[in-house]
Each structure stands twice: as structure tokens, then as C-alpha cells.
Amino acid sequence: MATTADFRNGLVIEYNGELHTIVQFQHVKPGKGPAFVRTKLKNMKTGRVLDNTFSSGTKVNVARVERRPYQYLYRDEIGYYFMHLETFEQIHVPEELIDGHEFLKEGENVEVVYHTDTDTVLSVDVPQFVIVEVTYTEPGLRGDTATNTFKQATIETGGTVMVPLFVSTGDRIKIDTSSRTYIERAKS
């Protein structure tokens, strides 16, 4: 058992009979009345995010989870396949359990989150930043570097991302997978 004082981002708790991860939380101490904790909880099965408020000091059950290192191998029509880096055991993970699957490159190292009580896969954590090559984008016009406008680009993994006008086909770019945004051109 834990209390609201133990809340942190990424903590997996049992709430309404299902596993949720804490995406965001904020302790609030109003001038009048008792303190409370405002949270955003993400359902581990459905991926739905809900807002919830806990009274300060409320006890919650913390789910025992384990993060294991895996390497992304390939994808087929059934889902994604990963190999454990130490035991070389291969597992299959459905697409809905991978947030940011459109940024996975073959050979990429990831962390697979397991529920230790049932030994089931809860989610796959893609690295926060990835470097990918732009396979197609419309050509930018000369002199458009000063404006803050974006265009759509297709990357080597098949996903799309919005990039500045000066990015062209063949460029390598750095992407933040959590916000799905362009960060910078990658240094060669």
C-alpha cells in the first residue's frame, strides 16, 4: 500500500479494478479546506486517459511492474516481435500496447513493462528521442527558413511528422516520440 505522497510519474497503481499509470500529478493545498492530489491516469489496457482527484493521504495499491530490456526485431500483420537482450527469448506484442510504434526501427532497444504478478506485457516504452531519415517530403522554397511554418514528412519507419520547411528528403532528423514532434536535424 502507498499513499498519495508516494505518487510519481510512471507509477502503476490499481484503480477501479484495473491497472493505470500516473501520467501527471499535482499536489494542491488550497487556502481553505483539505489538501488533495489532481492526477491524470492512463489505463494500461485501453490507453484511455482520465482525470481523477484523490484526497491527500488516500491509500492506493501499487502494482508490481518490472522493466525488461528488449530489442525490436520486426513487424508483421499480427504485431511486433521483440527479443530479450540477455536470454534471447522472443515475444510478440500487439500494436495497441506500443505507444509510438510508428517510430520503431529494426534493432532499436526498448523497455518492455511486465506485470510481475501475472507475467503479462503491459506496454512497450519506445526511446524518448529517435534519429530517423526523411524518405519523402515536399521541397521547400528558398528563403522560407525564417518563418515558423511546417510541412508533413514521411520517415523511414513509415510514420509521418511535421517538420520545418528547410528539411528535405534524405535528411536525418531527431524526433521526440512522446510529443511526436521534430526537434532538430541530426548531426552526421
12-57 pLDDT, tens digit per residue, is 999 998 999 999 999 999 988 999 999 999 888 877 899 999 999 9
- With contact defined as beta carbons under 8 Å apart, do 44 and 18 qualify? yes
pLDDT at 175: 93
Question: Concatenated DSSP letters for 34-84?
Answer: --EEEEEEEETTT--EEEEEEETT-EEEEP-EEEEEEEEEEE-SS-EEEEE
* CATH number (domain holding residue 154): 2.40.50.140
pLDDT at 161: 94
* CATH number (domain holding residue 13): 2.30.30.30
Which among 106, 125, 144 is the end of a domain?
A: 125
Phi-psi sector, 108: left (phi>0), alpha (psi -120 to 50), beta = beta
pTM of the model: 0.77
- Quote the number of domains for the chain: 3
pLDDT at 145: 59
In degrees and rounded to multiples of 5, residue 97 shows phi and psi of -90, 0
Which among 101, 125, 149 is the end of a domain?
A: 125
Identify the band that residue 92 occupies on the pLDDT scale cut at 50, 70 and 90.
Answer: very high
pLDDT over 80 at 188, yes or no = no
Residues 18 and 49 in one domain: yes
In degrees and rounded to multiples of 5, residue 101 shows phi and psi of -60, -25
Residues 71 and 103 in one domain: yes
Which among 125, 143, 168 is the end of a domain?
A: 125
Give the integer Cα–Cα distance in Å for 181 and 164: 11
Domain containing 85: what range? 65-125
